[in-house]
């Protein structure tokens, strides 16, 4: 694997200050790097600021402290080098699948014909062939998330940021989407940062899992996942896999339970 | 019976035409029955007499004169009030300050019966086109203002965030997310505006004009020609119905995902 650093997160801190309310420190002293072509996941209890970090990396919200570097260059705005797959439905309901997948390209000024040609390629990769002219409301949740993934890939980003992309799906669909994401990743060799609260999802997909602690979010531990690739769902039953999941669960269990009591 | 229900519930053109036909026939039937009980022809005339009066108006050319006057005035004023309404709605949605300070004035104006000011407008602006134009705009503009602002503010923040993550400039966010999202809202306001514009034009014609449906209704009722009064009222009803059906289908076309 290439060891060039693609994404560097340096001393990121984020405090939300709102009028008439106490300031909330969401993130503190986050330092991490992701190598080119690496698949890294962040897991943590809710309230650990993991989605906030993803938004800062994408440039959607500013950091209070620290900086983000992509290939050594500071970024503080959204750019074509990063693309996000959001958790919820963020597809435009009045556009067809092919127009949604080509949306980022059209925004960048690409003529529709070219945008559609590129979109078609990622529609095929995402297994959406035949649904080009369907509208999002005509598709299942899993299909819509495929469109979301294809839309992010179509702009050819260096880094793919996934914000709990399968959280809204049922367990069976989620497992299938995980294997499909792996094969897409194998094919495109993108650098991926995945935010998830599903520990088994993080271990199954990643080269490395970063465990966050909550309030404020800090890095508790980084755990390498030395499981062989290509991976199949069989792996989830192996001793090594279960051991890793268990180890990560023990790291965040106390906080998850505390979060339950807070409601 | 069950089959009929299922058919009428469908979201197809045939089904909606059938719904309209059934309700029109029902009204005609009730009307016919009532007019057989109420025999004073000054109060109520049966549907056939009204139809005869309408035919008579068409034959002697009065229908054409009145229709031209009313349709020209109401369509012009309606189109302008939609344009003004969307513009004001845009301004209110884009400026918090304007919305906070201008909002109360607008909702006060909205609840004032502007229709009642018709004689005043005619005194100010004369008997011609201008007074009708202004009156129709004043009654029709508010539903468009309100729905435009509400639609623009209702935009799903997820969609805006996704657009921003793809580097969309503010103008692109407006044209590709906010405005398409607001469009079906705006059309529902336009539908209400059309009904209001029809009321506005008739009242304006009552007070100051020499042609038009409002003028014809007033002059017919002054000569106790009940058939002619009802005939022109039916014409207005038809205009209202056509507009409503048209805008409702446009609304569905613009937002198919809301059906589910």
pLDDT digits (tens, 9 = 90+) for A64-115: 999 999 998 999 999 889 999 988 778 999 999 999 999 999 999 999 999 9
The nearest alpha carbon in chain B to A56 belongs to B165
Q: In terms of residue numbers, what domain contains A261?
A: 1-78+200-263
- pLDDT tens for residues A107-126? 999 999 999 999 999 998 88
- The arithmetic mean of pLDDT across residues A35-39, rounded, is 92
- Residue A211 maps to a domain: yes
Tell me, yes or no, whether B111 and B172 share the same domain: yes
Closest CA to A124 of A183, A47, A71: A183
Number of structural domains chain A divides into = 1
The structure tokens listed for B123 are: 């005194």
Q: Does A62 touch chain B (CB under 8 A)?
A: no
- Residue A62 maps to a domain: yes
Partners of residue A84 in chain B, C-beta under 8 Å = 162, 165
pLDDT above 70 (res B121)? yes
- pLDDT tens for residues B214-227? 999 999 989 988 99
Q: Does A80 touch chain B (CB under 8 A)?
A: yes
Number of structural domains chain B divides into = 2
pLDDT of the residue at B259: 59
Average pLDDT, chain B: 88
The single-letter DSSP state of residue B255 is -
Verify whether the Cβ–Cβ distance B172 to A94 is below 8 Å. Answer: no
Angle, helices B47-59 vs B13-37, to 10°: value is 110
- Residue A21 maps to a domain: yes
Tell me, yes or no, whether B117 and B51 share the same domain: yes
Task: Classify the phi-psi angles of A215: left when phi > 0, otherwise alpha if psi is within -120 to 50, otherwise beta.
Answer: left
Contacts of B177 (CB under 8 A, 6+ apart): A92, B155, B159, B160, B163, B168
- The arithmetic mean of pLDDT across residues B69-86, rounded, is 94
Q: In terms of residue numbers, what domain contains B185?
A: 46-258
Mutate to test the interface with A, among B156, B159, B160, B167 (most CBs of A within 10 A): B167
- Residue A182 maps to a domain: no
- Shortest distance between the Cα of A79 and any Cα of chain B, in A, equals 6
The CATH number of residue A254's host domain is: 3.40.50
- Residue A209 maps to a domain: yes
pLDDT tier, B207 (very low <50, low <70, confident <90, very high otherwise): confident
Give the nearest partner residue to A78 out of B159, B165, B172, using CB atoms: B165
């Amino acid at each position: 694997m290439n060891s060039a650093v693609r994404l560097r997160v340096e001393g990121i801190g984020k405090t939300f200050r709102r009028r008439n309310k106490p300031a909330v420190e969401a993130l503190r002293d986050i330092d991490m790097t992701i190598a080119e072509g690496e698949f890294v996941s962040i897991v943590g209890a809710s309230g650990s600021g993991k989605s906030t970090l993803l938004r800062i990396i994408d440039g959607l919200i500013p950091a209070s402290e620290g900086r983000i570097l992509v290939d050594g260059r500071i970024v503080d705005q959204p750019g074509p080098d990063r693309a996000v797959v959001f958790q919820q439905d963020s597809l435009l309901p009045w556009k067809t699948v092919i127009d949604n997948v080509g949306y980022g390209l059209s925004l960048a000024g690409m003529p529709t014909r070219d945008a559609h040609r590129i979109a078609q390629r990622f529609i095929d990769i995402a297994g959406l062939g035949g649904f080009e002219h369907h509208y999002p409301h005509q598709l299942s949740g899993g299909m819509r998330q495929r469109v979301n993934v294809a839309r992010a890939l179509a702009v050819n980003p260096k880094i793919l940021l996934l914000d709990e992309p399968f959280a809204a799906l049922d367990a069976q669909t989620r497992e299938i989407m995980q294997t499909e994401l792996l094969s897409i990743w194998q094919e495109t060799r993108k650098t991926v940062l995945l935010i998830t609260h599903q520990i088994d999802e993080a271990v199954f997909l990643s080269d490395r899992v970063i465990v966050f602690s909550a309030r404020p979010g800090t890095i508790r531990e980084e755990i390498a996942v030395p499981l062989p690739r290509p991976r199949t769902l069989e792996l989830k039953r192996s001793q090594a896999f279960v051991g890793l999941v268990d180890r990560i669960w023990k790291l965040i269990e106390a906080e998850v339970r505390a979060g339950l009591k807070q409601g | 019976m069950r089959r009929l229900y299922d058919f009428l519930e469908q979201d197809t053109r045939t089904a909606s035409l059938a719904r309209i036909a059934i309700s029109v026939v029902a009204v005609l039937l009730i009307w016919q029955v009532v007019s057989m009980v109420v025999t004073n022809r000054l109060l109520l005339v049966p549907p056939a007499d009204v139809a005869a009066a309408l035919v008579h108006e068409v034959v002697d050319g009065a229908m054409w004169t009145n229709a031209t006057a009313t349709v020209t005035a109401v369509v012009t004023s309606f189109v302008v009030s939609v344009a003004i309404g969307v513009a004001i709605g845009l301004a209110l949605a884009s400026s918090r300050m304007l919305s906070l300070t201008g909002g109360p004035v607008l909702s006060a104006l909205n609840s004032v019966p502007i229709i009642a000011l018709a004689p005043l407008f005619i005194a100010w602006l004369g008997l011609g086109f201008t007074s009708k134009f202004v009156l129709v705009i004043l009654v029709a503009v508010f539903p468009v203002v309100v729905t435009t602002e509400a639609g623009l503010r209702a935009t799903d923040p997820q969609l805006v965030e996704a657009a921003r993550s793809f580097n969309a400039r503010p103008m692109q966010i407006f044209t590709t997310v906010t405005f398409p999202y607001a469009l079906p809202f705006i059309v529902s306001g336009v539908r209400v505006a059309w009904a209001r514009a029809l009321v506005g034009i008739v009242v304006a014609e009552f007070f100051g004009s020499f042609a038009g449906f409002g003028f014809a209704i007033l002059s017919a009722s002054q000569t106790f020609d009940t058939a002619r009064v009802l005939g022109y009222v039916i014409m207005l009803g038809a205009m209202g119905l056509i507009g409503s059906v048209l805008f409702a289908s446009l609304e569905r076309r613009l937002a198919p995902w809301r059906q589910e």
